[in-house]
Structure 1
Amino acid sequence: MTSDLSGVATIALPRLPLGDPHDCTDANDELSLYLAFYDTLVKRRNGHYVPHLARSWRVGEDARSWTFELRPGIRFHDGATCDAAAVAASLRRMAREDKGYTLGSPAVWRQYLGDAEIDADGLTLRIHLGAPVADLLDVLVQGFIVAPSIFERLDSGERALACGTGPYIAETFATGLVGARRNPDWFAGQPANAGLRFVLEPDTGTRLAMLLDGRAQLANTLDPTADGPSCIDGVTLHRFAAPVAIIYLLNAAKGPLADARVRLALSLAVDREALIGAVLPGAADPLQGFVSPRHFGAGTRPADGPDLARAKTLLAEAGHGNGLTLGLDCPTRLPDEAERLTAALGAQLARIGIRFDVHLHPDREAYAHMVRRKEIRDLCVFDSSPMSTFRVLHEKIDSRIAGAWWQGYRNQVVEELIDIGRGATDDAARACRYRAAYEELQRDPPWLTLYNPHRVIGLAGDHPDFTLPDDGVIDVADLPLLARQAAI
Structure 2
Amino acid sequence: MRPIVAALLFLCSASALAQAGNEVRQLERGNGPEPSTLDAHRCQEVACGNVLRDLYEGLVTEDAAGRLIPGMAERWEVSADGRTWTFHLRDGLRWSNGAPLDAAQVVASFRRAFSPQTAAPFAELFDALQNAQAVQAGQLPPASLGVAAPDPRRVVFTLSRSAALPALLTLPIAFPVYLPAVQRFGAQHTRPGRLVGNGAYSLLAWTPQANLSVQKNPHFHAAADVSIARVRYQVTEDASAELQRFAAGDLHITETVPPQPLQALRERFGGRLRIAPYLGAFWLGLNLTRPPFKDAPALREALSLAVDRDKLTRHVTGLGEQPAYGLVPTGIPGYAGAQTTWARASQAQREARAKALYRAAGYSEGKPLVLELRYNTSTPHRRMALAVASMWRDVLGVQVRLRNEEWKVFVQNRKQRTITQVFRGGWVGDVVDARNFIAAFGSDGPLNWTGYDDAGFRERLARADAAKTEAARNAWLHAAEQTLLNDHMAIPLYFYTSKHLVGPELEGFEANPLDRHASRWLRWRH
Q: TM-score range by the shorter chain?
A: 0.7 to 0.9
Q: Distance in 2 between matches of 1:58 and 1:82?
A: 23
Q: Distance in 2 between matches of 1:234 and 1:252?
A: 45
Structure 1: segments with no counterpart, 5+ residues:
none
Aligned to 2:435: 390
| SS class of match (1:360) | strand
Moved more, 448-457 or 223-232: 223-232
**Superposition TM-score, scaled by structure 1 size:** 0.79
| SS class of match (1:331) | strand
Q: Tell me whether 1:124 sits opposite 2:180 in the alignment.
A: no
Counterpart contact for 1:289–1:298, Cα < 8 Å: no
Aligned to 1:437: 480
Q: Distance in 1 between matches of 2:90 and 2:106?
A: 12
Q: What pairs with 1:62-211 in structure 2 (closer than 5 Å)?
A: 65-100=84-119, 111=133, 114=136, 116-122=145-151, 123-128=153-158, 132=161, 134=163, 136-137=165-166, 139-142=168-171, 143-153=174-184, 155-158=186-189, 159-161=191-193, 162-170=195-203, 172-173=204-205, 175=207, 176-181=211-216, 183=218, 186-187=221-222, 190-191=225-226, 193-200=227-234, 202=236, 204=239, 207-208=242-243, 211=246
Of 275, 281, 297, the residue aligned with 1:245 is 281
Q: Distance in 2 between matches of 1:199 and 1:377?
A: 30
Q: Distance in 1 between matches of 2:503 and 2:146?
A: 47
Give the length in aligned residue pairs: 472
- TM superposition shift of 1:344: 2.3
Counterpart contact for 1:335–1:382, Cα < 8 Å: no
Q: Distance in 1 between matches of 2:373 and 2:298?
A: 23
Structure 2: segments with no counterpart, 5+ residues:
1-19, 127-131
- TM superposition shift of 1:456: 3.1
Residues 191-219 of structure 1: CA deviation (Å, up to 9, x unaligned)? 3x241231535465665565556554434
Residues 55-104 of structure 1: CA deviation (Å, up to 9, x unaligned)? 2142674x7654333333333333333321121122122123333556xx
Aligned to 2:313: 276
Q: Tell me whether 1:360 sits opposite 2:403 in the alignment.
A: yes
Q: What pairs with 1:335-484 in structure 2 (closer than 5 Å)?
A: 336-350=379-393, 353=396, 355-358=398-401, 360=403, 362=405, 364-376=407-419, 378-388=421-431, 389-395=434-440, 397-398=441-442, 400-401=443-444, 403-424=446-467, 427-461=470-504, 466-479=509-522, 481-482=523-524
Q: Distance in 1 between matches of 2:88 and 2:277?
A: 35
Q: Distance in 2 between matches of 1:422 and 1:70?
A: 29
Q: Distance in 1 between matches of 2:34 and 2:198?
A: 21
| SS class of match (2:118) | coil
- TM superposition shift of 1:434: 1.9
Moved more, 113-122 or 335-344: 335-344
Q: Distance in 2 between matches of 1:242 and 1:300?
A: 15
Q: Distance in 1 between matches of 2:62 and 2:463?
A: 23
- TM superposition shift of 1:408: 4.5
| SS class of match (1:477) | helix
Output the amino acid matched with 1:319: A
Q: Distance in 2 between matches of 1:329 and 1:108?
A: 30
Q: Tell me whether 1:319 sits opposite 2:360 in the alignment.
A: yes
Q: Tell me whether 1:35 sits opposite 2:53 in the alignment.
A: yes
- TM superposition shift of 1:464: 9.4
| SS class of match (2:495) | strand
Residues 5-38 of structure 1: CA deviation (Å, up to 9, x unaligned)? 5443412324564943323334434222222221
Q: Distance in 2 between matches of 1:177 and 1:314?
A: 47
Counterpart contact for 2:98–2:219, Cα < 8 Å: no
Q: Distance in 2 between matches of 1:35 and 1:100?
A: 20
Counterpart contact for 2:377–2:406, Cα < 8 Å: no
Q: Distance in 2 between matches of 1:204 and 1:402?
A: 31
Counterpart contact for 1:328–1:380, Cα < 8 Å: no
Output the amino acid matched with 2:196: C
Task: Sort the Cα spacing of 1:137 and 1:296 in 2 relative to 1 into closer, same or farther, 3 A.
Answer: farther
Computing the radius of gyration over CA atoms, which structure comes out larger, 1 or 2?
2
Residues 304-332 of structure 1: CA deviation (Å, up to 9, x unaligned)? 14454466457647834864733422235
Output the amino acid matched with 2:146: E
| SS class of match (1:358) | strand
Q: Tell me whether 1:11 sits opposite 2:28 in the alignment.
A: yes
Tell me how large the CA RMSD over aligned residues is: 4.0
Q: Distance in 2 between matches of 1:209 and 1:378?
A: 34
Moved more, 182-191 or 240-249: 182-191
Q: Distance in 2 between matches of 1:185 and 1:363?
A: 35
Determine which structure has greater relative contact order: mean sequence separation of CA pairs < 8 Å that are 6+ residues apart, divided by chain length. Answer: 1
Q: Distance in 1 between matches of 2:281 and 2:243?
A: 26
| SS class of match (2:274) | strand
Output the amino acid matched with 1:200: Q
Output the amino acid matched with 2:255: N
**Superposition TM-score, scaled by structure 2 size:** 0.74
- TM superposition shift of 1:290: 0.3
Of 286, 289, 299, the residue aligned with 2:326 is 289
- TM superposition shift of 1:247: 1.7
- TM superposition shift of 1:413: 3.8
Task: Sort the Cα spacing of 1:390 and 1:261 in 2 relative to 1 into closer, same or farther, 3 A.
Answer: same
Residues 219-274 of structure 1: CA deviation (Å, up to 9, x unaligned)? 43343536445586797222245544322222444546423333334333322011
Q: Tell me whether 1:260 sits opposite 2:290 in the alignment.
A: no
Q: Distance in 1 between matches of 2:239 and 2:404?
A: 23
Identity of aligned residues (%): 19
Output the amino acid matched with 1:32: N
Counterpart contact for 1:222–1:455, Cα < 8 Å: no
Task: Sort the Cα spacing of 1:111 and 1:52 in 2 relative to 1 into closer, same or farther, 3 A.
Answer: same
Task: Sort the Cα spacing of 1:101 and 1:363 in 2 relative to 1 into closer, same or farther, 3 A.
Answer: farther
Counterpart contact for 1:74–1:187, Cα < 8 Å: no
Counterpart contact for 1:119–1:126, Cα < 8 Å: yes
| SS class of match (1:218) | coil
Output the amino acid matched with 2:306: A
Of 74, 78, 90, the residue aligned with 1:58 is 78
- TM superposition shift of 1:390: 3.2
Task: Sort the Cα spacing of 1:151 and 1:322 in 2 relative to 1 into closer, same or farther, 3 A.
Answer: closer
Q: Distance in 2 between matches of 1:266 and 1:451?
A: 15
Q: Distance in 2 between matches of 1:156 and 1:364?
A: 19
